[in-house]
A and B are shown apart, each in its own frame.
Chain A
Amino acid sequence: MLTRSRRPRRPPLQALLALGAGLLFAGLLGVAPAAAATAEPAPSASAPAEGTGFSVGGTIANGDEPVEGAEILVEGDGFSEVATTDDEGVWRVQVPAQGSYTSTLDVDTLPEGVEPRDPDNVMRTSNLNTTPNANVLFPMGESTIQGTSIWDTVLTRLIYGINFGLMLALAAIGISLIFGTTGLNNFAHGELLTFGALISFFLTAVLGWSIWAAIAVTLVASAAFGWFHDAAIFKPLRRRRVGLVQAMIVTIGLSIVLRYVFLMIFGGRTEFIQTGFNQVVPIGPANLQASSLISMGISVVVLAAVALFLTKTRIGKATRAVSDNAALAAASGIDVDRIIRIVWVLGATLTGLSGILYGVFRGVSWIMGFQILLLLFAAVTLGGLGSAFGALVGAIIIGLVTELSTLWLPADLRFATALIILILILLLRPQGILGRRERIG
């Protein structure tokens, strides 16, 4: 999925704004919280049809080239009409009523050199009993899966999976460290990731900085943001002896606040951070972007540095001591509040970096962090709550599962698969892979 989404897809800004305004108007009529949820980028749903309210349509593209002038015959229940694709490859037919309709692609109308992926099967049936607007797919060109052997595909997915897993690991370790030292499940952690991505996008795309300078400044900004979280919110809460469940709900509120602030500033669009490293590097059968390799390199180096920090330095050891038993650590002379402050700063910095990488490969949007939050929690839970190394292992597993599952399952179910794996593993090992059981009595 990485190569595909790598290419900037710019949804028409006005359309998004119009959609937003429409939703807000709907809010006035009393559906707003639901509408807020719908403001998350919806998969390219068919535009509501005018007229009868029922329609069949779709988009035909050869790779990324829209196919213009292809004809599709739509039939059903005495109705028949031919649709032609426009210059964006889009076609749609209004049909009179609910029911079952067949769409047949006329192969002769395809331009020279464009062929259906499966030329023997160009007829599709859609059922309009459950939905007013059906989308019909006619894939063109050689299927990427058929062209290469299964092992090549597996290898490609494996590499993407590891890359994604490493990216997740950076942010997951942040969550894990914070949970370990404070016991807090931070539902606003995703917003730290969005923050990093937004800053870096602003520096590169708006100010035109080089990616390296942008990364450096973003990391500093993320660190400051983490410091601010602790200094302005969580330390005062600890002072007030606010319970953990309460604090967790505070993070839910914080997540809502930050997300909508991001939305107000950035709008509903999705943009990509440009790195300039677009060379293709073949590694075996997998064609990787140079940026993917650099990203993996950065992740590995940073993760190794974090591991060294936690195991070798005084502060790192103190951090683990606080995770183990904060009261005891305090009694043995460790300044727990200082350690927690350091953990917030470190966690936010790592998460900001993860946000930059995510913004390069999967795009920057106001909701990105929230969308990825669950995968982060899944990674941390899988590894065992509070264990930094567990978070790393869990993140790699989640990364691999999301990518490898697309070999067998539809791509739009890959996050679901990762979450199902989470539940299955917890069935077998309720304390997570590297977690410890709690003491009773």
Chain B
Amino acid sequence: MDFLFVLNNALGVALSPTTAAYALAAIGIGVHFGYAGLLNFGQAGFMAIGAYAFGITTLTLGFPFPLAFLSAVVASVVFALILGIPTLRLRADYLAIVTIASAEIVRYIVSTTGLSDVTGGASGLSAFAGSFQAMNPLPSGSYGFGPWTYSRAEFWVFLWGWGLVAIATVVVWLLMRSPWGRVVKGIREDEDAVRSLGKNVYAYKMQALVLGGVFGSLAGVIFILPRAIQPTNYATTLTFFTWTILLLGGAATVFGPIIGSMIFWVLLVLTEGVIGGLVRADIITFISTTQAGQIRFVLLGLALILLVVFRPQGIFGNKKELSFNV
């Protein structure tokens, strides 16, 4: 088995646009959960909204890239408002269930056959990145080096993906050191106390929901730029993976989501390569190659459990400012 190949893949994935997309989605729930204490289990819904808004406005309405991009933002704002109005008054655990339900509603609706003229139904949408690539100002050729070598088109997606991650990180950093961030963190601790001090808790929660939702939606756009839109991608599992990333890096930290996403992806690819390689080389004989792929997720689940129990602040989190209510 070729360890160099596996290693190369793993290093390559650390900077892939998909990793950027997951990081962006995790920054979004970082705003929701890490700072505002909102249990949003519907981030997959926001990602789906972004992806579909982008795909549908491009394919059905013929929007150029900037307009389609803007549509994704607007759609997620509208979705956050629709979601927030009934749920933000609810107790935290109700919010978790309602957000997860809303994300599933989105998924059911985009995959229903009745709407397949617009959404493509179960087969999803593809071939929508034309306008995006037409804007590509880069001269042709290949970019980067070693495991991080990209074609012109790939590099264009790379720049947008990591560019958006950088912008989101700066915005979150600016907000969280400000009085606005203080109010939002106060709400995470005890919303009644903050209310008693004259702050409109509902409005702040809504702002946090919208902000994190927009990040989720943009993550959805980045995620689909190099591939097609598949409705099955937006199942609850996707939300759970973004949560794992957030907790891996540390929920209330600035760089946590980025580092978390990189570690998550590198580990996934590494374990796949190593276990798969060992099975193919007949060193591990009690499982098949298919099962070798599945066992990664068993390990991932275990990692999530151990992390949450033994290092709840994440790898970079502040020990005192634990990410959970004690």
Q: Do chains A and B touch in the complex (CB under 8 A)?
A: yes
Which residues in A have some Cβ–Cβ distance to B below 8 Å? 17, 20-21, 23-24, 27-28, 30-34, 36-38, 40, 42-46, 98, 127, 129-135, 185, 237, 240-246, 248-250, 252-261, 263-264, 370, 374, 377-378, 381, 385, 410, 412-413, 415-416, 419-420, 422-423, 426-427, 430, 438, 440-441
- A264's partner among B94, B113, B287, B324 (CB-CB below 8 A) is B287
Q: How far is the CA of A45 from the CA of B60 in the complex (A)?
A: 21
| B309 in contact with A242 (CB, 8 Å) | yes
Q: Mark B1-27, 1 if CB is under 8 A from A, else 0.
A: 000000001001100101100100000
Q: How far is the CA of A410 from the CA of B108 in the complex (A)?
A: 11
B131 proximal to A (CB < 8 A)? no
Distance (Å) between the CB of B263 and the closest chain A CB?
13
- A412's partner among B39, B112, B234 (CB-CB below 8 A) is B112
Distance (Å) between the CB of B33 and the closest chain A CB?
8
| A410 in contact with B308 (CB, 8 Å) | no
Query: A17 — which chain B residues lie within 8 A by C-beta?
Result: 290
B76 proximal to A (CB < 8 A)? no
15 A/B residue pairs, CB under 8 Å, sorted by A: A24-B276, A27-B269, A28-B269, A32-B296, A37-B232, A129-B59, A130-B118, A244-B325, A249-B247, A261-B298, A264-B291, A413-B108, A416-B109, A416-B112, A430-B89
What's the tally of chain B residues with a CB closer than 8 Å to chain A? 89
User: Residue on B with the closest CB to A23?
Assistant: B293
10 A-B pairs closest in CB distance: A256-B301, A24-B293, A253-B304, A257-B301, A131-B120, A416-B108, A253-B305, A419-B101, A37-B235, A260-B297
B50 proximal to A (CB < 8 A)? no
- B91's partner among A21, A30, A413, A438 (CB-CB below 8 A) is A438
- A36's partner among B56, B234, B291, B297 (CB-CB below 8 A) is B297
B294 proximal to A (CB < 8 A)? yes
Q: How far is the CA of A120 from the CA of B237 in the complex (A)?
A: 45
Distance (Å) between the CB of B161 and the closest chain A CB?
13
| B109 in contact with A413 (CB, 8 Å) | yes
| B300 in contact with A37 (CB, 8 Å) | no
The answer to whether residues A33 and B121 also contact, given A24-B293, A377-B100, A415-B104 and a CB cut-off of 8 A, is no
Query: B232 — which chain A residues lie within 8 A by C-beta?
Result: 37-38, 40, 42
Query: A98 — which chain B residues lie within 8 A by C-beta?
Result: 127
Q: How far is the CA of A27 from the CA of B237 in the complex (A)?
A: 15
Query: A441 — which chain B residues lie within 8 A by C-beta?
Result: 192
| Most chain A CB atoms below 10 A, which of B91, B192, B236 | B236
Q: How far is the CA of A259 from the CA of B125 in the complex (A)?
A: 29
Distance (Å) between the CB of B224 and the closest chain A CB?
10
Distance (Å) between the CB of B268 and the closest chain A CB?
6
B142 proximal to A (CB < 8 A)? no
User: Residue on B with the closest CB to A382?
Assistant: B97
Q: How far is the CA of A40 from the CA of B237 in the complex (A)?
A: 10
| B101 in contact with A260 (CB, 8 Å) | no
Query: A252 — which chain B residues lie within 8 A by C-beta?
Result: 240, 243, 304
B116 proximal to A (CB < 8 A)? yes
Q: How far is the CA of A412 from the CA of B111 in the complex (A)?
A: 8
| A27 in contact with B302 (CB, 8 Å) | no
| B308 in contact with A250 (CB, 8 Å) | yes
Instruction: Determine the main DSSP class of A at the interface with B.
Output: helix
Query: A33 — which chain B residues lie within 8 A by C-beta?
Result: 22, 237-238, 241, 268
Query: B127 — which chain A residues lie within 8 A by C-beta?
Result: 98, 132
The answer to whether residues A131 and B268 also contact, given A38-B233, A253-B308 and a CB cut-off of 8 A, is no
B98 proximal to A (CB < 8 A)? yes
| A249 in contact with B243 (CB, 8 Å) | yes
Distance (Å) between the CB of A132 and the closest chain B CB?
6
| B237 in contact with A246 (CB, 8 Å) | no
Distance (Å) between the CB of B48 and the closest chain A CB?
11
Q: Mark B223-258, 1 if CB is under 8 A from A, else 0.
A: 100010010111111101101100100000000000
| Most chain B CB atoms below 10 A, which of A24, A134, A249, A374 | A249
| A43 in contact with B111 (CB, 8 Å) | yes
| A31 in contact with B122 (CB, 8 Å) | no
| B301 in contact with A260 (CB, 8 Å) | yes
| B18 in contact with A30 (CB, 8 Å) | yes
Q: How far is the CA of A306 from the CA of B96 in the complex (A)?
A: 28
The answer to whether residues A34 and B238 also contact, given A245-B324, A385-B93, A419-B104 and a CB cut-off of 8 A, is yes
Query: A440 — which chain B residues lie within 8 A by C-beta?
Result: 192
Query: B309 — which chain A residues lie within 8 A by C-beta?
Result: 237, 240, 242, 246, 250
Distance (Å) between the CB of A233 and the closest chain B CB?
8
B119 proximal to A (CB < 8 A)? yes
Query: A255 — which chain B residues lie within 8 A by C-beta?
Result: 301
- B301's partner among A134, A253, A423 (CB-CB below 8 A) is A253
Q: How far is the CA of A130 from the CA of B119 in the complex (A)?
A: 7
- A422's partner among B98, B123, B126 (CB-CB below 8 A) is B98
Query: A43 — which chain B residues lie within 8 A by C-beta?
Result: 111, 122
Distance (Å) between the CB of B173 and the closest chain A CB?
24
Query: B301 — which chain A residues lie within 8 A by C-beta?
Result: 253-258, 260
| Most chain B CB atoms below 10 A, which of A129, A248, A252, A415 | A252
Query: B100 — which chain A residues lie within 8 A by C-beta?
Result: 374, 377
Query: A135 — which chain B residues lie within 8 A by C-beta?
Result: 113, 116, 121, 123
User: Residue on A with the closest CB to B117?
Assistant: A127
User: Residue on B with the closest CB to A183?
Assistant: B93
| A250 in contact with B94 (CB, 8 Å) | no
Q: How far is the CA of A130 from the CA of B295 in the complex (A)?
A: 36
| A30 in contact with B265 (CB, 8 Å) | yes
| A130 in contact with B59 (CB, 8 Å) | yes
Q: How far is the CA of A40 from the CA of B192 in the complex (A)?
A: 41
Q: How far is the CA of A378 from the CA of B101 in the complex (A)?
A: 8
- B230's partner among A34, A134, A258, A385 (CB-CB below 8 A) is A34
Query: A21 — which chain B residues lie within 8 A by C-beta?
Result: 289-290, 293
| A370 in contact with B236 (CB, 8 Å) | yes
User: Residue on A with the closest CB to B298?
Assistant: A260
B86 proximal to A (CB < 8 A)? yes
Query: A381 — which chain B residues lie within 8 A by C-beta?
Result: 94, 97-98
Query: A261 — which chain B residues lie within 8 A by C-beta?
Result: 298
Query: A24 — which chain B residues lie within 8 A by C-beta?
Result: 272, 276, 289-290, 293-294
| B97 in contact with A40 (CB, 8 Å) | no
Q: How far is the CA of A87 from the CA of B22 in the complex (A)?
A: 45
B124 proximal to A (CB < 8 A)? yes
| B308 in contact with A132 (CB, 8 Å) | no
Docked complex: B162-180 residues within 8 A CB-CB of A: none
Distance (Å) between the CB of A382 and the closest chain B CB?
10
Distance (Å) between the CB of B75 and the closest chain A CB?
17
User: Residue on A with the closest CB to B60?
Assistant: A130
The answer to whether residues A426 and B94 also contact, given A37-B232, A38-B233, A246-B312 and a CB cut-off of 8 A, is yes
| A385 in contact with B247 (CB, 8 Å) | no
| Most chain B CB atoms below 10 A, which of A33, A132, A248 | A33
Docked complex: B278-326 residues within 8 A CB-CB of A: 287, 289-291, 293-298, 300-305, 308-309, 312, 324-326
